Structure 1
Amino acid sequence: MSYLEYTVKSTPTGPGKILYLNWPLIILLCAVAGIGTLMLYSVAGGSMSPWAEPHMKRFALALAGMFVVAMVPIWFWRNISLLAYLVSLALLVAVALVGIEGKGAQRWIDLGFMRLQPSELVKITLVMLLAAYYDWLPMSRVSRPFWVLIPVALILAPVALVLKQPDLGTSILLLAAGGVMMFLAGVHWAYFATVILAMAGGVFAVIKSRGTDWQLLENYQYRRIDTFLNPENDPLGAGYHITQSKIALGSGGWTGRGFMQGTQSRLNFLPEKHTDFIFVTLAEEFGFVGAVSILGLYALILVFCIAAALSNRDRFSSLLILGVAVTFFLFFAVNMAMVMGLMPVVGVPLPLISYGGSAMLVLMVGFGLVQSAHIHKPR
């Protein structure tokens, strides 16, 4: 029996597919979204509007979308990966031409019934295309320079378009996710060492050039770096957001102030309390225990994804699952590092907890692909 015949004969069909879903993963996703609803209820002062109720409805819609994606055979998603990537690139171009602006950035397309943020969509389509590329490419060619340049170009194309919006946070996520996908596919470590050394050299050059005739950055950009390294120097200006965030994190202590008792969020000292900084609200109200608990739920989601990837003998499926897991990890890792002052504030939401439609929908589509790969794997 050939591998294809084995795959077809061993793959569940019809209603029986429901039984093959990774139900623990679904339960974990629902639990995290439920916590998000509670936190949005809290930051609204004990009201389901304007954030908690839409959050629940969006998650219900996204969960239904995940089930639909999961029921479609994984080979279909592999076959349309290039088309999906090109569509997402076209949407990024459309944003530059006819996109709507909000908070100084042009990132959305108005579809009438919702605002679509194509930069969120490309996070998944890029993973799909890279997985399909390395599934097609023989292992003997993975580390050859020509075949390394192709995925690099595929990664840099959306990064360049997203940077123009401007959206530094999403650009960082795309670069990081693409780089990790290349590493997981087997690209030689020397390429990554070269990039890391070049980045280190660039940082060193930027620092040494300050105050010289060949200064690489503008003075205001150096001041931003100073504020990031020491926000207390400008607590009421550029350092205000991260200073208030640290106050809220510290005031939570071990067990927190209690549900709906967070002073920083209730008194509106905390910026973007329902989106980028919602983790700080959670930590203030539920303390260290609450923060570690949500981190534990995220870790369990990653564990189930990694286990699904390791048990799947199809290269495309394994790389796709790992790519979605990496994207999910970068979401919450960058958000938490941002609000704790470990990296600059770049506007990355906390997955399934922060208020927002595009990010949640796209992330759940990603988990739908994980479920599709899990259901339709050779057994």
Structure 2
Amino acid sequence: MLDLRRFTGREMRLTDKLIEFNWGFLLLLVLIASIGFAMLYSVAEGSFSPWAYRQALRFGVGVCILLIVAMIDLRLWMRLAYPLYGVALAMLVAVEIVGFTGMGAQRWLNLGFVQVQPSEVMKVTLLMALARYFHGLTLEEVSRLRNLVIPVLLIAVPVGLVVLQPDLGTAILLVASGAILFFAAGLRWRYFILSGIIVLATVPVVWSRLHDYQKNRVFTFLDPERDPLGAGYHILQSKIALGAGGVFGKGFMEGTQSQLNFLPEKHTDFIFTMLGEELGLVGGLVLLVLYFIVLMFSLNVAMQCRNQFGRLLAIGVSMTFFLYVFINSAMVMGLLPVVGVPLPLVSYGGTAMLSLMFALGLLMSVYIHRNVEISRGPSAFW
């Protein structure tokens, strides 16, 4: 292991960074993604087309992105934090103007050669922008009211644009990720308590402005059997499939609910249900343990980092990853309302996969440059 204390980020050679790169972490990601490939193969009834091979290609591109991002000096990523956030924000605005509609929501941009979901990009760039902002503040300055205006706006503007799409699930994730960065930066508890009171006070107003399908998701969460063939169909079939899997599952490609098409969205949001039916409780626990190892490694990176930007960025990536896993798995078990949150590296999806790999590349950049000291203040940005 290299003694990185003798390096600064720009003095490290590429070979030094490749040696310091944690290849075991990459292998862990490959194992998780491989489970996803297997499930997508099963969804297509024993065929790599149309989902498994596309997902594998995207993951391959994602690995290249992760490696490139990890090799780049962490200080350069700090300088690019605000510009990248601005690009993501511009893409969200473009969605409202020229975006196209899919599955009842206007969330995508067609760039000709690829379709992009800007809200997925914003999830990463928001973490970068907040980490950059709080890096320039001392612990005492974080809790001064005038210093909270800019980070609140950094969160509120994209959240407002995402709500207009409408995509309430992603909006909640953006708020949650932002709140985690506020907490990690050292914001005092009284602000969180005050925010909680404000949220509770605005619940009636927010409820009155929800779309009917969003209200139905809440009603269905409280009583799935109120509309078993309509709003409650997804979650009821999911529970049946999970229960049918038992401890060891029905066997690979032997799930009745999934193979007979009773289970909807089985290649995206409900892929964990399919895994539970075919591989059982044991298979589900194996995947969750792999996720847990990723989370523990990520948090350890944050604790080892000597600079505030890297520490906050690693915490943001770690906890956003956790939120994805927790919300998706809890959703398919009926513990949370159904929202469009994919299972990391397993659910089928292009933008979600590549943006996550970019975020994990940032995490690895923090790991490689964990002993690099970055000065605070405007000079560090310019």
1:82 aligns with 2:75: no
Task: Describe the shift of the 1:297–1:178 C-alpha distance in structure 2 as closer, same or farther (beyond 3 A).
Answer: same
Q: CA deviation at 1:15?
A: 2.0
Aligned 8 A contact 2:120 2:351 in 1? yes
Hey, what does 1:240 align to over in structure 2?
233
Q: CA deviation at 1:168?
A: 1.1
Q: CA deviation at 1:119?
A: 0.4
**Which aligned pairs between 1:134-153 and structure 2 lie closer than 5 A?**
134-153=134-153
1:101 aligns with 2:101: yes
Task: Describe the shift of the 1:216–1:117 C-alpha distance in structure 2 as closer, same or farther (beyond 3 A).
Answer: closer
Q: CA deviation at 1:9?
A: 7.9
Task: Describe the shift of the 1:7–1:222 C-alpha distance in structure 2 as closer, same or farther (beyond 3 A).
Answer: same
Hey, what does 2:177 align to over in structure 1?
177
1:209-237 deviation per Cα after TM superposition (whole angstroms, max 9, x unaligned): 9xxxxx88898876553322001111011
Hey, what does 1:319 align to over in structure 2?
312
CA distance in 1, matches of 2:370, 2:265: 42
What is the TM-score normalised by the length of structure 2?
Answer: 0.92
Hey, what does 1:25 align to over in structure 2?
25
Aligned 8 A contact 2:108 2:117 in 1? yes
* 346-355 vs 194-203, which moves further: 194-203
Hey, what does 1:166 align to over in structure 2?
166
1:24-48 deviation per Cα after TM superposition (whole angstroms, max 9, x unaligned): 2111111100110000001110100
Quick one: which amino acid aligns to residue 76 of structure 1? L
Task: Describe the shift of the 1:309–1:216 C-alpha distance in structure 2 as closer, same or farther (beyond 3 A).
Answer: closer
Aligned 8 A contact 1:143 1:187 in 2? yes
What is the TM-score normalised by the length of structure 1?
Answer: 0.92
Q: CA deviation at 1:300?
A: 0.3
- Name stretches of at least 5 consecutive residues in structure 1 with no aligned partner: 210-214
**Which aligned pairs between 1:103-142 and structure 2 lie closer than 5 A?**
103-142=103-142
Aligned 8 A contact 1:11 1:376 in 2? no
Task: Give me the identity figure in percent.
Answer: 51
Counting matched residue pairs gives: 368
1:226 aligns with 2:219: yes
Hey, what does 1:357 align to over in structure 2?
350
Q: Secondary structure at the match of 2:235?
A: helix
**Which aligned pairs between 1:206-285 and structure 2 lie closer than 5 A?**
224-285=217-278
1:128-157 deviation per Cα after TM superposition (whole angstroms, max 9, x unaligned): 011010101122210111112221111111
CA distance in 1, matches of 2:30, 2:140: 42
CA distance in 1, matches of 2:87, 2:351: 16
Quick one: which amino acid aligns to residue 155 of structure 1? I
1:62 aligns with 2:55: no
Q: Secondary structure at the match of 1:108?
A: strand
Aligned 8 A contact 1:206 1:217 in 2? no
Aligned 8 A contact 1:11 1:378 in 2? no
CA distance in 1, matches of 2:9, 2:66: 24
CA distance in 1, matches of 2:54, 2:32: 16
CA distance in 1, matches of 2:216, 2:86: 39
Hey, what does 1:14 align to over in structure 2?
14
Task: Describe the shift of the 1:234–1:136 C-alpha distance in structure 2 as closer, same or farther (beyond 3 A).
Answer: same
* 369-378 vs 301-310, which moves further: 369-378
CA distance in 1, matches of 2:50, 2:153: 41
RMSD, aligned α-carbons? 2.1
Task: Describe the shift of the 1:106–1:15 C-alpha distance in structure 2 as closer, same or farther (beyond 3 A).
Answer: same
1:330 aligns with 2:320: no
Quick one: which amino acid aligns to residue 43 of structure 1? V
Q: Secondary structure at the match of 1:112?
A: coil
Q: CA deviation at 1:206?
A: 7.8
Task: Describe the shift of the 1:378–1:53 C-alpha distance in structure 2 as closer, same or farther (beyond 3 A).
Answer: same
Quick one: which amino acid aligns to residue 107 of structure 1? R
Task: Describe the shift of the 1:9–1:369 C-alpha distance in structure 2 as closer, same or farther (beyond 3 A).
Answer: closer
Aligned 8 A contact 1:11 1:377 in 2? no
Aligned 8 A contact 1:37 1:52 in 2? yes
Task: Describe the shift of the 1:76–1:144 C-alpha distance in structure 2 as closer, same or farther (beyond 3 A).
Answer: same
Task: Describe the shift of the 1:135–1:45 C-alpha distance in structure 2 as closer, same or farther (beyond 3 A).
Answer: same
Q: Secondary structure at the match of 1:288?
A: helix
Moved over 4 A (4+): 215-224
Quick one: which amino acid aligns to residue 42 of structure 2? S
Task: Describe the shift of the 1:299–1:169 C-alpha distance in structure 2 as closer, same or farther (beyond 3 A).
Answer: same
CA distance in 2, matches of 1:88, 1:220: 27
CA distance in 2, matches of 1:254, 1:273: 20
Task: Describe the shift of the 1:65–1:248 C-alpha distance in structure 2 as closer, same or farther (beyond 3 A).
Answer: same
Task: Describe the shift of the 1:20–1:104 C-alpha distance in structure 2 as closer, same or farther (beyond 3 A).
Answer: same
1:155 aligns with 2:150: no
Q: CA deviation at 1:12?
A: 2.8
Quick one: which amino acid aligns to residue 359 of structure 1? A
Hey, what does 1:376 align to over in structure 2?
369
Q: CA deviation at 1:112?
A: 2.0
Quick one: which amino acid aligns to residue 148 of structure 1? L
